[in-house]
Structure 1
Amino acid sequence: MKTYIAGQGDTLRKIAYFHEISPYSLLKVNPWFTSLQDYVQPNTHVWIPTEKEPETAKEKPGSCLYEFGPKDLAMKLSMLQALYPSRLSVKTIGESVCHQPIYHMKIGKGNKHIFYSGGWHANEWMTSKFLVDWVEEVLRALYSENLLYDYNLSQIFESITLHVVPMVNPDGIELVHQGVYDGHPFAQTVRHINRSVERFDHWSANIRGVDLNHQWPAGWEEENLLSPQKPWPRHFGGPHPLSEPEVKAIYQLTNTYPFQHVLTFHSQGQLIYWGYRHKEPKESEEMARKLAVKSSYTPVHTAESDAGYKDWFIQDFKRPGFTIEIGVGQNPLPLSAYEEIWVNNVELALEGLVL
């Protein structure tokens, strides 16, 4: 038996995975944890069986064996940069409230710029994992010069540049995975917002209780009338539009590149929202239909809400914007939901490159 000291962002499933043992073996030797949903605070001493379990499952495309957070994103991006240095550019476009980096990936060299984003809501972290896994498959196909589900990516990326921000809300995602603890810079704030409840499965806001997809100057005043008027686990639009550093980073990125269309990934519902107050261009409906054909998801004109990133993009740029609601169930979706998400969204995301 050896001891592992838990770090920031750790979960029981994650610790087990990287030590090549089953999660239930980890629970067995650490009886003070009662379930795999228990939070593991930083600096917790966790017993690790010394014998690895060779039959332990390994992640592959379409599988999700542990919670994907900011530290996992950083490791994956570092690996992808090392493997595909000539095809992938990774930069930091800003920081979260807790000074975690907000990463921007760029692939391609064409004049048509397209933007995908995910991880807007804390308990929708699976969108971040999907985007990074999908980018990895795209890079692998580009490197091998193989078709990916009949899409000739080498040819496609001659004419487009794809931008991806996989995790807009790293602080919130980490809160959902690890909870809050003494020493956390926002412990008092978060506990107050959450009424001293120590579970955060329902939390979708950033770390100071602002919903990053209710922050945009597109009907913000109207949406604000129906939303909480103070920091809240969800739906509080902030003191004014564009108040949060995470949102400012996306705002600046969107004003830097001439995105022809944008796809924002959320969960859940298996839906494709494509309109906003009838301000969307005519081609949006047909583009949504093409995404639906590739995913089996249902296209819906509008979500009857305001102040979202897609809403603002459509309003200000008069270009197509889409919100993809991946998966079905209650957030945070169970790990088993990832199989459906992968199957139904790989080709949707590929089709988004050629709309």
Structure 2
Amino acid sequence: MRLNRIIHDERFYTFRQFEEDLFTLQATYPQFALNTIGHSIMGRPIYEVVIGNGDQHIHINGSFHAHESITTNVIMRFINDYLHALSTNEPIRGHNMHHFFNEITLSIVPMVNPDGVDLLNNGLPENERFRELVLDINNQSTNFDQWKANIRGVDLNNQYPANWEIEQRRKPKQPAPRDFPGYGPLTEPEALAIYDLTLMKDFDRVLALHTQGEIIFWGYEGLEPPISRDIAQEYGRVSGYRPIQYVDSHAGYKDWFIQDFRRPGFTLELGQGVNPLPITDLDHIYEETLGIFLANIYV
């Protein structure tokens, strides 16, 4: 399968490189639909890829956090492999991908936080206002390896109305490279774009890709349906990851989805190590995550 990839996922994506690969996939494969669901603080499009024609609607997203952008590479590789399999009638790990296509409509947002990802992988913004802003937030350091936030220092996965006030009390009180939940829920356009998309499309299941720890978080405040346990156990079986029901964390996308929809929602912590994980880990992480993606066919 590797030789047939038309994307360039062997390096961390800048936003421009990511966009070029999306357009290449769109031009090559007719099964690929590309939507813009919103724009970042700096005006970059937040793209949604839609593949499939099934009654089950599943959402996958990556790069909520800037220094976890290897999740975008994992997702883009899956999109490429899935589309290639459809065009050649080749199975992936024995699974007929036309069956996947006919059973599941996939909504995929590979890069929720394009400004933050570009800050890490492409350096300081050319725009003077944003350049000064991120340097102020980062104590004038040009090392952004620990930057999780969007371009104005808000942690997008602390932005959702699921006990947001708890995170407000115990997290930073002003813009920061990580963990600041904002001055209120859903103040940031990137978080709001995913929120609105979820309300509009009424997903049956959501998977948010993060790094790291090789963990599957699958519960929130006892509000998750019983089937979530079975799904998480199967995800764990095929990936080697450890399912964990609860963790002392709130205001995340998965938390809000479970709270408001009472449907299966998962945060997948891919890989093992210190963020940002090296790009040399991509092959290994992809093979682990691929089993989870494919498990959605049957569980």
User: Is the TM-score greater than 0.5?
Assistant: yes
Partner of 2:21: 76
The structure showing larger relative contact order (alpha-carbon pairs under 8 Å, at least 6 residues apart) is 2
Partner of 1:223: 167
Unaligned runs of 5+ in 1: 1-57
Matched-pair contact (CA < 8 Å) for 1:214–1:306: yes
Looking at CA atoms only, which structure, 1 or 2, has the larger radius of gyration? 1
**Residues 174-225 of structure 1 deviation map (CA, whole Å, 9 limit, x = unaligned):** 1111332564441111111111111100000000000000000001001111
Matched-pair contact (CA < 8 Å) for 1:94–1:246: yes
Deviation at 1:156?
2.2
SS in 2 for 1:349: helix
Matched-pair contact (CA < 8 Å) for 2:61–2:109: yes
TM value normalised by structure 1: 0.81
Residue 155, structure 1, aligned to residue 99, structure 2: yes
Identical-residue share of aligned pairs (%): 41
Partner of 1:10: none
* Greater helix fraction, Structure 1 or Structure 2: 2
CA distance in 1, matches of 2:242, 2:192: 31
From 175, 187, 210, the equivalent of 1:266 is 210
SS in 2 for 1:259: coil
Partner of 1:280: 224
From 176, 195, 198, the equivalent of 1:251 is 195
CA distance in 2, matches of 1:185, 1:234: 20
Partner of 1:290: 234
Partner of 1:306: 250
Deviation at 1:354?
3.3
Moved more, 210-219 or 157-166: 157-166
**Residues 308-342 of structure 1 deviation map (CA, whole Å, 9 limit, x = unaligned):** 00000000000000000011111111121112201
CA distance in 2, matches of 1:235, 1:211: 5
Unaligned runs of 5+ in 2: none
CA RMSD of aligned residues (A): 1.8
* Distance change >3 Å, CA 140–CA 248, structure 1 → 2: same
Alignment of 1:172-183 (within 5 A): 172-180=116-124, 183=127
Partner of 1:94: 38
CA distance in 2, matches of 1:65, 1:146: 23
From 330, 333, 338, the equivalent of 2:277 is 333
SS in 1 for 2:59: strand
Matched-pair contact (CA < 8 Å) for 1:156–1:354: no
Alignment of 1:1-355 (within 5 A): 65-85=10-30, 87-180=31-124, 183-355=127-299
